[in-house]
Amino acid sequence: MLKGIPQIISPELLKVLCEMGHSDRIVIADGNFPAESMGKNSIVIRCDGHGVPEILDAILQLFPLDTYVEKPVSLMEVMKGDNAKTPIWDTYKEIIAKYDQRGADTVGTVERFKFYEEAKKAYAIIATSEKAIYANVMLQKGVI
């Protein structure tokens, strides 16, 4: 055990966060996200039994968001014609505001299939058991 490391951060995830460099991206995926097929060329970390908000909160305690891009946090845009509600996005914005003074201004949306293409290039994908739909979030790492 280490001091100051959130308990939910496994040794494997801590190693991945340390290995990532500036501009590398990590996806925190909901339970419906095809993590294994999207992550064939990246690292897939299982966080079964956990939701995206608690993982996001733990990661942002350690992980600087990129300040050289306008929107270092990307959410999967709701598909046209899909009447899905996304209250979890408000939760994400509250969490982000605790760790980055730009708060909700760091967050943008990416069209669903573009999000998948970008996820394929991510350094890592964290597979959670999150049940909320459109709950996937991609973070771009900054510098300290």
Say yes or no to pLDDT of 140 above 80: yes
Our answer to whether residue 105 is catalytic in this structure is no
Model confidence pTM above 0.95: yes
Indicate the average pLDDT of the chain. Answer: 97
Report the pLDDT value the prediction gives residue 2, as an integer from 0 to 100: 86
Tokens (6 digits) for 11: 């040794």
Q: What percent of the chain has pLDDT over 70?
A: 100
Q: Which of 22, 68, 82, 90 is catalytic?
A: 22
Q: Which of 50, 99, 105, 116 is catalytic?
A: 116
Pick from 106, 101, 107: nearest CA to 134: 107
Report the pLDDT value the prediction gives residue 12, as an integer from 0 to 100: 97
The answer to whether the CB of 123 falls within 8 A of the CB of 26 is: yes
Our answer to whether residue 100 is catalytic in this structure is no
CA of 92: how far to CAs of 36, 109, 143, in Å? 24, 13, 21
Tokens (6 digits) for 141: 């790492």
Q: Which of 24, 30, 57, 66 is catalytic?
A: 66
Domain boundaries, the chain: 22-140
- CATH code for the part of the protein at 22-140: 3.40.1650.10
The answer to whether the CB of 137 falls within 8 A of the CB of 92 is: yes
Our answer to whether residue 134 is catalytic in this structure is no
CA of 122: how far to CAs of 14, 56, 143, in Å? 16, 16, 17
Say yes or no to pLDDT of 1 above 80: no
For 45-82, what is each residue's pLDDT tens digit? 999 999 999 999 999 999 999 999 999 999 999 999 99
Concatenated DSSP letters of 37-104: HHTTTSEEEEETT--HHHHHHHHHTT-PBPSSSS--EEEEPPPTT-----THHHHHHHHHHHH-TTGG
For 75-94, what is each residue's pLDDT tens digit? 999 999 998 999 999 999 99
